[in-house]
């Protein structure tokens, strides 16, 4: 009974036309089998079918859909690569486009930071390959990821390259896009919510609070050699009206704070280090710029951390107090 009632409720939430697509799937199955010999092609047909069904859920499928799907199978079309932003952790923050891409992928190459609940949204049969990159720990070389993407797409796979946050923010996307384009492979990019936006929303404050912030800047705490980049624009970091978000700040946080203070930023400037933003185990510490690094050492080892420096971090502390009091 409970099962029936759950099914009825789920069906009530789905677009009505979807049941016509489900019927079509049943009746088309024998034709798909006879027209497409290779298992990989049939898998690609059904992957594309799912995407088309969701996109056309308000109408019934037609013969033209069948032919278009057949014409679009990898054997005839060639594979593709889609860079997808997985957001900072909470699966609810994925875009609808991202979910659709996951549900049509035949292969997913994903970062370490992507939560298992997000990978669960992909089709069961999709092959998942971890190509983790954690700072300077053991990781797959970028050039290897690039050539793998190209080889898989050339073999006709529908490849999703799933990256934490937004793929275009500190995500080494350029190398992957260039490798695909050089090989003549179509690349689509689906943006995601970056860690900075996720952290600010989860803690309930504005990154550009107009009474105190005139600009927002994303910088990296981790250069190609693992050190704090010497060529950061320290005069911008020292701007008291800026909100500075430091990605990958853990190993170099005390150096960052010292350099910002040496460049003229008030040591009392509010700072916030947020670990695992938007996840169930989110955690943060708030302090002055001068003392944030010491406190941040207490955040869970191995957790992704983002550092937010600027007057807006004070309102974050106040917002958290209000949230706690509510
Ligand atoms: C290689 S960068 C990728 C950034 C990602 N493309 C984005 O837009 O968020 C990895 C860094 O992002 C930050 N990060 C990613 N997810 C995070 C989260 N849930 N909480 C805090 N920081 C996070 C951390 O600074 C981490 O070291």
Segment 97-146, tens digit of pLDDT: 999 999 989 999 999 889 899 999 998 889 999 997 654 456 788 999 99
Give the residue with greater pLDDT, 7 vs 204: 204
Evaluate if residue 73 carries a pLDDT over 70: no
Determine the Cα–Cα distance for residues 233 and 225; give it in Å rounded to an integer.
18
Give residue 43 CA to ligand 1 midpoint distance, Å: 33
Sign for the CA dihedral angle at 242, 248, 254, 259 comes to negative
Report the atom number in ligand 1 closest to the C-alpha of 278: 19
* pLDDT score for 140: 84
Residue pLDDT, tens place only, 153-192: 998 889 999 999 999 999 999 999 999 999 999 899 999 9
Evaluate if residue 7 carries a pLDDT over 80: no
Question: Which residue lies with its CA nearest to atom 27 of ligand 1?
Answer: 248
- Top mutation candidate among 87, 110, 113 for ligand 1, by most atoms within 8 Å of CB: 113
87 DSSP assignment: B
What are the backbone dihedrals phi and psi of residue 55, each rounded to the nearest 5 degrees, phi first?
-70, -30
Is the distance from the beta carbon of residue 87 to the nearest atom of ligand 1 less than 6 Å? no
What single string gives the DSSP state of each residue in 257-280? HHHHHHTT--TT-EEEEEESTTST
Confidence band for 304, pLDDT divided at 50, 70 and 90: very high
* pLDDT score for 288: 96
Determine the Cα–Cα distance for residues 169 and 192; give it in Å rounded to an integer.
9
* pLDDT score for 112: 84
* pLDDT score for 254: 97
Is the distance from the beta carbon of residue 246 to the nearest atom of ligand 1 less than 6 Å? no
Give residue 52 CA to ligand 1 midpoint distance, Å: 32
Long-range contacts of 318-321 (CB under 8 A, 24+ apart): 318/205, 319/203, 319/204, 319/205, 320/203, 320/204, 320/284, 320/286
- Interval 230-236 mean pLDDT: 95
* pLDDT score for 14: 73
Evaluate if residue 326 carries a pLDDT over 90: no
Give residue 31 CA to ligand 1 midpoint distance, Å: 46
Q: Is 26 labeled as catalytic in the residue annotation?
A: no
Evaluate if residue 76 carries a pLDDT over 80: no
Q: Give 168's Cβ-side CA count (13 Å radius).
A: 7
Residue pLDDT, tens place only, 251-293: 999 999 999 999 999 999 999 999 999 999 999 999 999 999 9
The model carries a pTM of 0.80
Of the listed ranges 64-73, 197-206, 207-216, the one predicted with least confidence: 64-73
Residue pLDDT, tens place only, 18-62: 889 999 999 999 999 999 888 778 887 887 888 788 878 888 899
Determine the Cα–Cα distance for residues 211 and 241; give it in Å rounded to an integer.
9
* pLDDT score for 47: 78
Q: Is 225 labeled as catalytic in the residue annotation?
A: no
Confidence band for 316, pLDDT divided at 50, 70 and 90: confident
* pLDDT score for 125: 87
Helix (H) or strand (E) holding 307: strand 305-309
Determine the Cα–Cα distance for residues 66 and 36; give it in Å rounded to an integer.
12
Q: How do beta strands 127-130 and 107-110 pair?
A: parallel
Question: Which residue lies with its CA nearest to atom 12 of ligand 1?
Answer: 247
């Amino acid at each position: 009974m409970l099962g029936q009632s759950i099914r009825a409720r789920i069906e009530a939430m789905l677009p009505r036309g979807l049941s016509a697509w489900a019927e079509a799937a049943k009746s088309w199955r024998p034709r798909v089998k006879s027209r497409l010999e290779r298992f990989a092609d049939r898998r690609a047909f059904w992957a594309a079918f799912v995407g088309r069904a969701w996109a056309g859920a308000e109408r019934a499928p037609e013969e033209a859909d069948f032919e278009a799907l057949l014409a679009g199978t990898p054997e005839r079309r060639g594979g593709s690569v889609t860079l997808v932003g997985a957001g900072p952790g909470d699966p609810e923050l994925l875009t609808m486009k991202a979910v659709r891409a996951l549900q049509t992928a035949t292969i997913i190459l994903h970062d370490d930071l992507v939560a298992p609940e997000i990978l669960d949204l992909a089709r069961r049969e999709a092959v998942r390959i971890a190509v983790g990159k954690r700072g300077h720990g053991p990781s797959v070389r970028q050039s290897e990821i690039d050539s793998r993407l190209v080889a898989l797409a050339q073999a006709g796979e529908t490849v999703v390259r799933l990256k934490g946050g937004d793929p275009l923010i500190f995500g080494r996307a350029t190398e992957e896009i260039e490798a695909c384009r050089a090989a003549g492979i179509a690349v689509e990019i689906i943006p995601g919510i970056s860690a900075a936006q996720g952290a600010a929303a989860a803690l309930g404050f504005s990154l550009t609070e107009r009474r105190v912030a005139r600009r927002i800047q994303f910088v990296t705490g981790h250069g190609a050699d693992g050190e704090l980049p010497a060529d950061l624009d320290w005069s911008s970091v020292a701007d008291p009206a800026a909100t500075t978000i430091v990605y990958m700040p853990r190993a170099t946080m005390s150096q960052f704070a010292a350099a910002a203070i040496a460049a003229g930023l008030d040591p009392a400037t509010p700072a916030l280090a947020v670990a695992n933003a938007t996840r169930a185990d989110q955690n943060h510490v708030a302090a002055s710029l001068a003392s944030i690094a010491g406190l941040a050492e207490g955040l869970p080892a191995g957790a992704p951390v983002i550092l937010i420096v600027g007057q807006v971090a004070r309102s974050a502390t106040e917002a958290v107090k209000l949230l706690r009091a509510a």
